[in-house]
Structure 1
Amino acid sequence: MAWYLTSRGIPLPDCPPLIQTPSPGEAPGAAFDPDRVDRVIAAFSLLRHTQGQWAGRPLRPDPWQVAYILAPAFGWVRWDEDAGDYVRVVRELYVDVPRKNGKSTLSGGLAIYMTCADGEPGAQVIAAATTKEQAGFVFAPIKHLAENSPALKKHVIALKEKILHPRSGSYFQPISSIAGAQHGANLHCGIIDELHVHRDPELVETIETGTGSRRQPLIVIITTADSGKRETVYDRKRQRIEQLARRVFTAPSVYGVVWAAERDDDPHDPATWARANPGFGISPTRAYLQAKSDEAKQSPADLAKFLRLHLGVRTKQETKFLTLASWDANATIVDEESLRGREAYGGLDLASTSDLLALCWLFPDDDGDALTAIWRLWTPADNLAALDKRTAGAASRWVREGLLTATPGNVADYEWIKDQICRDMQAFRVKSIGYDPWNATQLTNDLSNERAPMVQVRQGFITMSPALKGMQRLLLKGTPAQPVFRHGGSPVVRWMVDNLAVAMDPAGNVKPDKASSAEKIDAVSAAATAMSELMARPPKRRSVYEDTDFEAI
C-alpha cells in the first residue's frame, strides 16, 4: 500500500485503524493490480460533492480511504479458473468508523462505481436499510451524485427510487425488506448501511446469499459502532472481524477495518479524537468534536453517546478473562501417547446436542507444578454447514484435520461419545469425570453403568470461580519456554477461548457466561469443569492449583 500511494503521489496517512484484518495479499496466488485501484479513484474523481463547503468539487478519496479501504479491497486479485480471468480477492468489505468521517460519500462512490464502472454486465447493486425512510436517506445523496456530476449524468438515468445505467443494463436501488433483496437474487454488490441498527439478521443474510452467480461480487458493510450488546447481527460481524485480525482463523475474502479509541484513552483529548477519526480536521472538524466533547461532560449518558458515535467505543464491551496472549504462551506439542497410564480428571460439556459438545482431560504433573490438557470435540454432521458460516469455513478444515469429530445426523450421537470415553478410560487412570447435572442425559447414566466415575459439578460461582481463576493463574504463569497449562494449540479450542465471556458477582467471583459469549465456549466450560474436579480431589502433594488467592465465597 505504501508503494502504491507513493507512486501515485498520494500522501501516506498517519491514522491507522485500531483493528485491521490481514492483508488480502496473503491469499494464495494473490497479486496486486494498481490499475484497478487507479480506475476506482478515477471514477470517484468524476463525481462531485453535493453538500457543504465542498459542493461542486471532485469527490477525490482521502489518503486514508485509499490506503486502508479502496486499495486493499480493489487492488488484490487472484486468478479464477472458472472466470478465465483475475478477480478480486475481497468479497466482503467491512468499514467501522465514527460519524462524520464520510461514510455516506464513500457508500455513494462505491455504489456508483459498482453499478457503472466495474465492468459487470447487468450488475444489480442494492443498499440495505432497516426502514423505507432510512432507505430514502441512503438513496438521496447517491441520487444527487448521479444528477450533479457532469461526467456521470449523461450515462445514467436517475429515477425516483432507482438509478439505471443503460449501457451495461445495470441498476442501483435501496431496499428495506427481504422481498426487496430477493428481487432478482443475482446481486453484484450489496451495501449494508449502519449495520448496528439492523436488529434482524435475515435481511443481511439474504443479501449475502444472493451473489452466488457473480464473478467478483462485493458485500460492503459501512457502519458506526454499537453499544456492545451481545448476539446482534452487528456483534457477530464485529466479533468475526476482530477474530480475523487476531488470526483466530483466516478468511482472505473478508477484509475489515475499525477506527476507534482505546477504552482507557482520555475521551476529551484531541489526540484521542485524531486516532479514532481518520478524517479528523476535515470531517469531522476539530470544532465539531470539541462541541460534542463539551456536551459529553454534562452527563454519563452524553459521555456514552460521545464514546460510541464519535470515538467508536463499544461502551458495554466485556474485558477478556482469558487472553489469547497467555493462551498462546502455553501452547506446546502434546504427545497423547505419553499420557497413557497417567492420572486424569475429566470435564464433560453436553450443553447443546445439536451444536458442539466437549470433553476435556487434565493431567497433573507428578511434581504438582503444571498440567497437560487434551480435548475431544464433537458436532452433528448436519450442523457443519452452519458452523462453517460462523467460522469462515474453518469448521470443515477442523474436521478434516481430526480436531473436531462430525457424528452422523442432526443431533449428537452419544454412542460415539460413550465409546470414546470408554477408550480413554482404558488408556488413562481416570479419577473423575465432572458434568453439569442440569444437562444430565442418558449418556451420563450409561457411563456410570460402564463404571465411569461420574461426578455432578454445578456451574455456579461456588464451583466455577476457583476453577476459572486457577486456569487463569496457570496461563499467566506459563511462558513459551516453560508452559504451565500445556495444551496442543488446537485452533478449535483457541477459537472458544477467544469467545469466552464471564459473569461476575459482587464479590468478584466468576463463571462462564454462555449467553454473553461471542460464540461457542464449550471447550472452555469442559476445561473449567475438569479443573474443578482436579482442585476438589487434588493429589496428596501440595500443588500449584491450590496456591491461588481466591475471593471468599
Structure 2
Amino acid sequence: MKAKRYPKGSYASRAIDYAKRVVSGKIPACWQMRAACQRTLDDLNRTDLIFSVEHIDHACAFIEALVHIKGQWAGQPFLLADYQVWIVANLFGFLNADDRLRRFREAFCLLPRKMGKSAFASAIGLYMCFADGEAGAEVYCGATNLAQANEVFRPARLMAQQSPGFIDAFGVEVMAKSIFVEATGQSFTPVIGKTKDGSSPHCAITDELHQAKDDTQVQAFRTGMGARQQPLLLMITTAGFNIAGVCRTEQLTAEGILRGDVVDDTVFVAIYTIDAGDDWRNFDSWIKANPGLNISVGEKYLRTQLAKAIQSPANAAAMRTKHLNEWIASAAGWLNQNDWANAANPSLDYQDFEGSPAWIGVDMSTKQDLTAISVVVQTDDGKRAIFPFSFLPQGAIDGGRNATAYASWMSSQELIVTDGNASDFAEIEAQLSKLVEHFDIQMIVFDPWQGENSRQKFAAQGYETSIWQANNRGEWTIAMDDFEADLKNGKLVHPDNAVLNWCAANICAHHRGVTRVPVKPAPNSEQKIDAMVAALMAFAASNIIPAPVTAPTIEWFD
C-alpha cells in the first residue's frame, strides 16, 4: 500500500515526522515512546481507522489560538511543540472508519515537571468543552485537593479571559469556579474527589494522578462517560513515590498496551522517561525524558538539577522522580532498583525445585500489614533464588490507598487474600506446611512478632526453626551487606513477583554508626516491606552452613 502523503508543514505531517524521528532514533527516547510512535505509524495503514487531517487541524488550530498566561511567553500564542502536535493528532485525528467517531477514549500521559502539562491539559479541556461540537459538554478537571484541581482550571480560566475573541466566539461566561455557556449547558469546572451523581463528562482531566489515594475519581469519571459517544479521560501526571497506587497501576496497564500484552485500542499512551540501565547521571538520559527541552524548560536549568542530584543523594530520588519520571518508592531506598530489575527471571518457578535444600523466612502480622513467607533456594548455576508468598486480610484492602494494586496482584495470583480484618494464621500455616513438604527444609526463621506460636508447631514436627533477633543490629547489618553484594554481583535472582518488587522498592535502611536495619519509608507508611524482610531472614539463614565434619588423619596423631 502506498503511504498517504500529508502537506509538508501541516499538523498531520509534523505528527508523523515526529513519530518517525523517535522510531529511527533521531530523537532520543525510551522504549515506551519508541513503541508508542511505532504504534502511530502502524495505525496509519489500518483500514478500520481514518487519520483525519481536518480533525487534527481543527484541534491544533484551536489550541494555538489560545495564549500563554504566565512566564516569558505570557500573552503570546500557545504554539504547540512537535511532541504536543503528535499527542493532539493521535487524540483527535484517529477515527473509527465505521462510525467516524474518535478511536481514543482515554489517554495516559506521563510527562516530567516543567513540560507545561497543566496548561496543555487546560487547552485540550477548553477544546473539548467549547469547540468539539458536543451538546451540553461537561468538562471536569479532577484532583485530590482544590489547589491541584486549580492547576488545570486556573490556566483554562485565564486562557478563556485573555485569548482574543474567545469569550465572544463561544459566548462563555467566566466565573471563579466555572467556565460555562448557560444556553447550551456547556461547562468546565474543577472537582475534588468523586463527581456528583448524574455527571456526564465529555472530558475528564486528572492532573498529577500520582497523588490520588485510590481510583475512586478515575472510576467515577469512567462510569459517568457512558452516555457520551466520544469522550476523553485524560490522565496527565509526573511519576510519584507510591508504586502501589492507582497512577503506577494505570502506567503498567498502559505499558502492557505498548508491549501488546494488553489489547485495548481505545487508550492512547505517551510515557516520557528513561530506560532501565540508563545512567541518570548522564545528561543524555535527561534528553530522553524531557521532550520540552529548550522549549518549556532550558538545558541550563536541567543541568543544574542534575548537578544538585549528583551532589546530594538526599535530593537525587526527588529529582529523578520529577524530572526523569522514575518511580522511586523512597528517597532513602536501600536497594539499587536497576540491580533488582536485572535480577528478575519470570520463568523461575518454585515447583521446579522440589526436594531442594531451602531456607524459609516468615514475617507475621496481625492486621493491616502483609504477612510474608519467603523461600531461598540455590539454583543449578550457584545463584540464590527468592520465592515470595504474601498474604493480606480482605479488611486491609477494602478502600485502602493500595486497593487498586492489591486487586491487580490478587488477579495475577501474586497476593493471597484471606477473609476478615486480621491475618488468618491457620491459612498462612497451611501454606507453610505445603512448602516444608515440597522442599528439603534447612531452617525456618520466624520474626519475633507473632511468630513464636507458629515456630513451636513446626519445631514439634521436627523442623529446624529459630526466632530472628530483630533487635540485633549486627545480624541485620551482615544480612543486608551480604544481600546487597550478591544482588550487585548477579548472584541473586527472583521471579519478578509484583509484591516482592514493591517491597524491594520500598525498603529503606536506618543507619546508626556502622550498623543498619531495614525500615519502611515512614513509620506509618502504607508502603510495605514485609516480603523483603522475610527474604532477608531466609537469606541470612542460608549463609549459615554447618562446617563439614572431617575424619582425622593418621598423620595428625604421629
Q: Deviations over 1:423-475 (max 9, x none)?
A: 33333332221121034365445444544433111345422333333333334
Q: Which moved more, 1:414-423 or 1:512-521?
A: 512-521
Which runs of 5 or more structure 2 residues have no equivalent in the other structure? 551-558
**Structure 1 CA distance for aligned equivalents of residues 148 and 496 of structure 2:** 44
**Structure 1 CA distance for aligned equivalents of residues 133 and 88 of structure 2:** 17
Given candidates 8, 13, 23, the residue that maps to 1:8 is 13
Q: For residue 546 of structure 1, what is the aligned residue in structure 2? A: none
Q: For residue 164 of structure 1, what is the aligned residue in structure 2? A: 180
Deviation at 1:533, TM superposition (A): 1.5
**Structure 2 CA distance for aligned equivalents of residues 424 and 124 of structure 1:** 55
Amino acid at match of 2:82: P
Given candidates 52, 64, 67, the residue that maps to 2:83 is 64
Q: Which moved more, 1:317-326 or 1:249-258?
A: 249-258
Partner SS for 2:374: strand
Decide whether the 8 Å contact of 1:493 with 1:524 is kept in 2.
no
Decide whether the 8 Å contact of 2:503 with 2:527 is kept in 1.
no
Amino acid at match of 2:85: V
**Structure 2 CA distance for aligned equivalents of residues 465 and 166 of structure 1:** 67
**Structure 2 CA distance for aligned equivalents of residues 463 and 335 of structure 1:** 29
Structure-2 change in CA distance of 1:409 and 1:462 (3 Å):
same
Aligned residues: 505
Structure-2 change in CA distance of 1:439 and 1:156 (3 Å):
farther
Partner SS for 1:361: strand
**Structure 2 CA distance for aligned equivalents of residues 493 and 310 of structure 1:** 24
Structure-2 change in CA distance of 1:159 and 1:412 (3 Å):
same
Identity %: 21
Q: Deviations over 1:286-319 (max 9, x none)?
A: 79x49989x999x99xx99996999679998346
TM-score by length of 1: 0.70
**Structure 2 CA distance for aligned equivalents of residues 191 and 272 of structure 1:** 29
Amino acid at match of 2:51: P
Given candidates 252, 257, 264, the residue that maps to 2:281 is 264
Q: Deviations over 1:77-122 (max 9, x none)?
A: 8999xx9976426354443322xx4345313212202323456554
Deviation at 1:18, TM superposition (A): 6.9
Partner SS for 1:437: coil
1:467 aligns with 2:467: no
RMSD over aligned Cα atoms: 5.3
Q: For residue 468 of structure 2, what is the aligned residue in structure 1? A: 457
**Structure 2 CA distance for aligned equivalents of residues 436 and 87 of structure 1:** 53
Partner SS for 1:515: coil
1:433 aligns with 2:426: no
Partner SS for 2:449: helix
**Structure 1 CA distance for aligned equivalents of residues 469 and 254 of structure 2:** 35
Structure-2 change in CA distance of 1:40 and 1:519 (3 Å):
farther
Given candidates 520, 534, 542, the residue that maps to 2:542 is 534
Decide whether the 8 Å contact of 1:499 with 1:520 is kept in 2.
no
Structure-2 change in CA distance of 1:398 and 1:146 (3 Å):
same
1:323 aligns with 2:342: no
**Structure 1 CA distance for aligned equivalents of residues 484 and 209 of structure 2:** 34
Deviation at 1:218, TM superposition (A): 0.9
Amino acid at match of 1:525: V
**Structure 2 CA distance for aligned equivalents of residues 382 and 476 of structure 1:** 38
**How do residues 37-436 of structure 1 correspond to structure 2 at under 5 angstroms?**
37-49=56-68, 58-67=77-86, 69-71=87-89, 87-88=103-104, 90-98=106-114, 101-118=115-132, 120-128=134-142, 138-147=152-161, 148-150=163-165, 153-161=168-176, 162-165=178-181, 169-175=185-191, 177-178=192-193, 181-182=195-196, 185-193=199-207, 201=213, 205-206=216-217, 209-215=220-226, 216-222=231-237, 236=245, 253=267, 255=269, 257-258=271-272, 264-265=281-282, 278-284=291-297, 289=301, 317-318=331-332, 321-325=335-339, 327-329=341-343, 331=345, 333-334=347-348, 336=350, 339-351=353-365, 353-354=367-368, 356-364=370-378, 369-381=382-394, 389-391=403-405, 394-399=408-413, 403-436=414-447
**Structure 1 CA distance for aligned equivalents of residues 348 and 532 of structure 2:** 18
Q: For residue 551 of structure 1, what is the aligned residue in structure 2? A: none
